[in-house]
Structure 1
């Protein structure tokens, strides 16, 4: 019984590690107020723990800093998605609009997702981009 569970665990782990990386920004409508909020959903099992260790302090940079880099990274991501070097690893276009205020937290987390992709997954989207260690 233990062998079957161990093999199943290894199979699930292998599938999770080899799957394509996908990122979604969802718009959430707040029923109480007439406002829109956004939520970043990362479907990569290793990101949340990596982000918890590397994503602080969140007020280190300004929102405009994160927005500027996010726009460049989104353009690079979508370019790669069209079938270039990392097309097999990147799934889904990111609809990030520069005229929408996604808020500090979403921009911070999105920026750190791109740092995760470059530093941990070794997918260089912007060769001269910022680095964290």
Structure 2
């Protein structure tokens, strides 16, 4: 009798953990009206990410990103460069893996690999804009490039 009761409690506990764990990972990201306005832009933005100190640049052609960057994203200086670099490294690896798997991930979203190397100092501006593009991309297209929710 005690063994059956213990087994029933263990099963209920396991089910509870699974239900709570599954629900917490699927929480909807709150999208503000301003952010929704950026996501609905249809006119193409072209953003050039470069640094005067380095020879590296990224060109992003994404409707609404510039509007989002100016109206929704945290201002430059909010995050440290080391924080931005750490997130960018994780997200670039995930991005590049998805580019190489067009049967599993939408090739219209993941078109080109990003050549981002951790041994190169790209400067604050490049890391800031790349980080924010990843946040914008994940929020707009409801993608997850890492284990953490992209935050504003």
TM-score by length of 1: 0.68
Written as runs of structure 1 = structure 2, the 5 A alignment for 1:39-118 is 39-83=57-101, 84-118=104-138
Structure exhibiting the larger radius of gyration computed from Cα positions = 2
What's the C-alpha RMSD, in Å, of the aligned pairs? 2.6
Where is the strand percentage greater, Structure 1 or Structure 2? Answer: 1
**Bigger RCO of structures 1 and 2 (CA < 8 A, at least 6 apart):** 1
- 1:78-104 deviation digits (Å, cap 9, x = unpaired): 011112333342110000010111000
* 2-structure distance, mates of 1:45, 1:112: 14
Structure 1 CA distance for aligned equivalents of residues 131 and 98 of structure 2: 17
CA contact (8 A) 1:66 1:108 kept: yes
Residues 87 and 131, structure 2, Cα contact 8 Å, conserved in 1: yes
Normalized per residue, the structure richer in helix is 2
SS of the residue aligned with 1:37? coil
Q: Any gaps of 5 or more consecutive residues in structure 1?
A: 1-12, 17-22
Q: Shift of residue 61 of structure 1?
A: 1.4
Structure 2 runs not aligned, ≥5 long: 1-41
